[in-house]
Structure 1
């Protein structure tokens, strides 16, 4: 294989290349590399098709490109002997390049990548290109012999590995730049050159010869080529089919992605995302109507979600059937549909259609043997050339959110004199954006054990810094969120933020304190709360003992059996459970005895009067005595003076206090340093 024959016994043959076909081979390698890289991009994205589907297509594209480049390059090679190929070995030769491409792309596309994984990818890809080349060479059937020059043979393999490594490294580490077609094209060209450089260096390593004693061999005075047109045609058809399939698949994937992201799966109507996209298109005149179905939650609760889904589908069908042709209908929320048109000139026909829709839907509907009458309202607003088009949605929502609204199948037009978009509605509509934009944030207020004078935990408190209104008091926005059913989602956000913060403290080797989280009343008994808590501690790998859940006694008393069951589940996961604001609601000793809580938290209103007020002091002593007899931890909120501290210490040294006397709430960055300073100060006092 590497032993050159005696020059006196053989005749060495010199080949030539057809420049246009050489150029074609490099172009084929480039396009195959570009196609493979484009398919590899899909692996990093959320796609309807599994990532291994795109990985397989990318591997086939790259492998077939390597194979095609080789044989087109061989078609460009002219030598003065007859040459043909063994079909079986020729077909087999494509397998190494496909397998090597798959393995290389697999290692390079993993989430956790290292220098070793890139080197492994480059080596595998280089070996795949090389093996394909030399297996392809073994498929040659010709009236001549050949051997390899060891130096150039090794150089060809080394070139393939190094250039493959560089190309794969650039592609994998610069994914965000691959959206730039020029950069992606340069990367594909680099990978294509890895294939071409290996091939032509490998060809340079070959020495073709014939023995002088071969009497039967006739050397042509003209260069003999393979059936070049047929080979190029076959390879080109194969590449075209692959590219066609990849384009069709990509189009299908984008279509499925578009349908999933811009259309409602239940009604098949455009969803809120599509509505916002169309709404943000500039227009001089426009009409927007929003139809709100009332009491959908009640229908879901009484008859199940399938029943509610049937209601939504019926409403969607009626709206789509009766809307004017120029009007788009969208499902923008669970119980809301929107109708939008840029043709405000046809205002009267739009109003007639709205009334017809409500008239049709106001008739009793029969769903699953149930006869029901829907309650709904349709609010609409219009703009003309002189109006602010951007306020159209706000104006329409102002109608729906106005306290005078009645769900009696009315069509109501926005009237700036009557309908105002209130500050409260603005806060409600912005809450999701506030969570995403870090307008909502948490502060932590320490809790001190009087017996040891050490910090044993903190309470997470919610704050809101509005971009327009500045710092908004929790006393303003929390009741508003609770009244409008928004507090559950915010609580989920708080739980995740707390778990994330505990994980960060652990990773930075900072002191980790137990964090108390307030749970809104009705959410205490929701299965979703347990699921959210479980998922969060598992995601951030923290123990339940680091979290205490605070619930008010009024929320517990309303549904005591469910509350007991829910608290038991919380305790099973290791969470501490505190009864907050004890004494402010309808306190019941029988409920307190049955609840498996760990902590009783006494409201600030009981501490404000002590020690001056005899009644407040007597009540405080009774509550502390009761809690102690039940073996509960006791937390006193709102401690602000030294006199209060002395009074509480005299009654029970095991009390836990929280308030401005110890520290004001602070952000997560300041808390560890404050805690360290506080501990040092106390140690000095004890010394």
Structure 2
């Protein structure tokens, strides 16, 4: 291998390269690396599929890129003698490249990264490239002896390992940077360089000898068969593109399943329900089951037992066949039937009573088990609006008459709503005094700097009788009365106090956004409250952002504009929330002295897969930035949305579950330290 051949082999063959085919081999290496890195990125994403599936696809893409690059590179090298390949060894030579790639990608995707992991991964990747190359050389059937210069042989290995190290280190250390296509292309070029440089440096140190009496030398011979070259290119590129297409399809499918389906029961979730009712069907009936026994089982036994109970409940509900009806798992302990025929309401009630009788005799782990559950049946004819169906069902559950003894209650506005609303209003003062009300904070992330720019303060209520109440349940009730100003003042004070604490603890230069109800915007009381809090907690006005919902004041735009101008003159920021949902958005936007636009979640949900939604969102961002406004995109839930928005514009603020859920103050502080976003 490294020794000079027998004395009979003294004629050195001079080969020549077809540079067009050399360029083709480099392109194949780059394509293989790019596809492999794209697939490998999905290892760290939420998925229904095991991470090893993505590692397998990435390894195949990388292995094919290495393999195809070698044989196309060899086809570019013309020797003046016949040259063929042992097909079995040719096929087997792909396995070292695939296997080494799998192990290397596995190492760089470990949760705990270390320099040792990266070194081991680069050595394995480099050796995989080298082994594939020299197996490919061994597969050549040629009337010549091949001799390798040991110095160049070793140098080619060092190159493969060293360049692989830089590429794999970039994959492990700069995972978030891969949202930028340019960075992904750069790392792909680095990985392709490891493959290509090893091959061509290795070939530079390779000498072909033929015997003195060899007469079959012809400058027109020695080209690898054109058909073989075309076949290899076609097959390798086709497989790479197929892998890319499969990954895109699977990625979209996974995103769809995660967003719209419950992973345990495979039932559509609350998001799917919201999407469905947006079709504005006026014949809807909703039956919601709330299961209060689930928490008891989790506490008394284990979460595994709780999962078994959920499966039992889901299977019981799935076994009920209702025409024109879909079953959802709305929340952890709530399931719902959505029926599209109001004239079938009696049938729905009857079926719910049958389920209640089944659960009267429920058994758990072979023993009788008392299932604490209730069902609320709500028709659009009683709720008046489709979007209130689920909230009205919650009203039934919060009513004192609901005992969770497998009863089925039909929502009656005059009975359920009035009594519950009265209770909520009566308990508000106690909630503020005894800290039953509390704030959670959802961070806003700067798209370019990848740090926390601020957060939105959101109120929650842990009611002593009704448990945790959704803001969608109690805020609309309080908004109907003047008590909403008391609640808003409580939020302002507690948010300002928390912001002051953060500034003293860690010197955080954050802004905090506070939602202001429409009728309170023009009140002199609000201005006085803001000034008082500013002085009390020594907060700069620019640290407070007032969020005003467009649909709440669009009918009194002149009065609202006067108030906005007042806030701005005092140094406060003003954000227009839910931008795009009000009918008069564009015509009044130029009159408002706002500082920030918040894009409503409905414009983000289907981006980037919907061309129309993507075009609308881009136009709205361009419009806002052209007016010198800061743009906040809320409701971000997928990495695809982040990638698209970073391509559309710079200096955006991101808010959504993709980054973080709303958290209590202590949780947010720990989260910010962990993610280095401060």
The normalised TM-score by structure 2 is 0.52
Is the CA contact 1:396–1:414 (under 8 Å) kept in the aligned structure 2? no
Q: Does 1:394 align with 2:388?
A: no
CA shift at 1:435, angstroms? Answer: 9.4
1:222-249 alpha-carbon deviations (Å, 9 max, x no partner): 1431224235425754675577578658
DSSP 3-state at the match of 1:322: coil
CA shift at 1:8, angstroms? Answer: 14
**Structure 2 partner of 1:677:** none
Matches within 5 A, 1:410-425: 410-415=409-414, 417=418, 419-420=420-421, 422=424
Change (3 A) 1:219 1:307: closer
Number of equivalenced pairs: 445
Change (3 A) 1:215 1:112: same
Is the CA contact 2:293–2:371 (under 8 Å) kept in the aligned structure 1? no
DSSP 3-state at the match of 1:380: strand
Q: Which runs of 5+ in 2 are unaligned?
A: 444-455, 470-665, 668-678
**Structure 1 partner of 2:37:** 37
Is the CA contact 1:63–1:101 (under 8 Å) kept in the aligned structure 2? yes
DSSP 3-state at the match of 1:409: strand
Is the CA contact 2:441–2:457 (under 8 Å) kept in the aligned structure 1? no
CA shift at 1:70, angstroms? Answer: 0.6
**Structure 1 partner of 2:660:** none
1:462-487 alpha-carbon deviations (Å, 9 max, x no partner): xxxx95669x9xxxx58448899xxx
DSSP 3-state at the match of 2:411: strand
CA distance in 2, matches of 1:299, 1:124: 51
**Structure 2 partner of 1:349:** 343
CA distance in 2, matches of 1:35, 1:59: 10
**Structure 2 partner of 1:314:** 316
- Aligned-pair Cα RMSD in Å: 5.4
1:93-133 alpha-carbon deviations (Å, 9 max, x no partner): 33443343234323322233233432333233223212322
Q: Does 1:73 align with 2:73?
A: yes
Is the CA contact 2:15–2:77 (under 8 Å) kept in the aligned structure 1? yes
Is the CA contact 2:439–2:458 (under 8 Å) kept in the aligned structure 1? no
Is the CA contact 1:43–1:54 (under 8 Å) kept in the aligned structure 2? yes
Change (3 A) 1:151 1:322: same
Change (3 A) 1:381 1:182: farther
Rg bigger for which structure?
1
CA distance in 1, matches of 2:397, 2:47: 38
**Structure 1 partner of 2:142:** 142
Change (3 A) 1:352 1:22: farther
Matches within 5 A, 1:93-242: 93-148=93-148, 152-210=152-210, 214-230=212-228, 232-233=230-231, 236-237=234-235, 240=238
CA distance in 1, matches of 2:246, 2:6: 57
**Structure 2 partner of 1:291:** 288
**Structure 2 partner of 1:645:** none
Change (3 A) 1:296 1:312: farther
Is the CA contact 1:383–1:389 (under 8 Å) kept in the aligned structure 2? no
DSSP 3-state at the match of 2:80: coil
CA distance in 1, matches of 2:117, 2:71: 30
CA distance in 2, matches of 1:383, 1:432: 34
CA distance in 1, matches of 2:113, 2:310: 47
The normalised TM-score by structure 1 is 0.51
CA distance in 2, matches of 1:97, 1:217: 37
DSSP 3-state at the match of 2:27: helix
Is the CA contact 1:379–1:414 (under 8 Å) kept in the aligned structure 2? no
CA distance in 1, matches of 2:86, 2:33: 27
1:385-408 alpha-carbon deviations (Å, 9 max, x no partner): x98876553343223312245775
**Matching residue within 249, 263, 267 for 1:269:** 267
1:337-370 alpha-carbon deviations (Å, 9 max, x no partner): 32447x7xx6x43645544544655677896899
Is the CA contact 1:17–1:77 (under 8 Å) kept in the aligned structure 2? yes
Q: Does 1:403 align with 2:396?
A: no
Q: Which runs of 5+ in 1 are unaligned?
A: 440-465, 485-666, 669-687
Is the CA contact 1:72–1:232 (under 8 Å) kept in the aligned structure 2? no
**Structure 1 partner of 2:662:** none
1:52-71 alpha-carbon deviations (Å, 9 max, x no partner): 45444433442343122111
1:464-511 alpha-carbon deviations (Å, 9 max, x no partner): xx95669x9xxxx58448899xxxxxxxxxxxxxxxxxxxxxxxxxxx
CA distance in 2, matches of 1:383, 1:202: 79
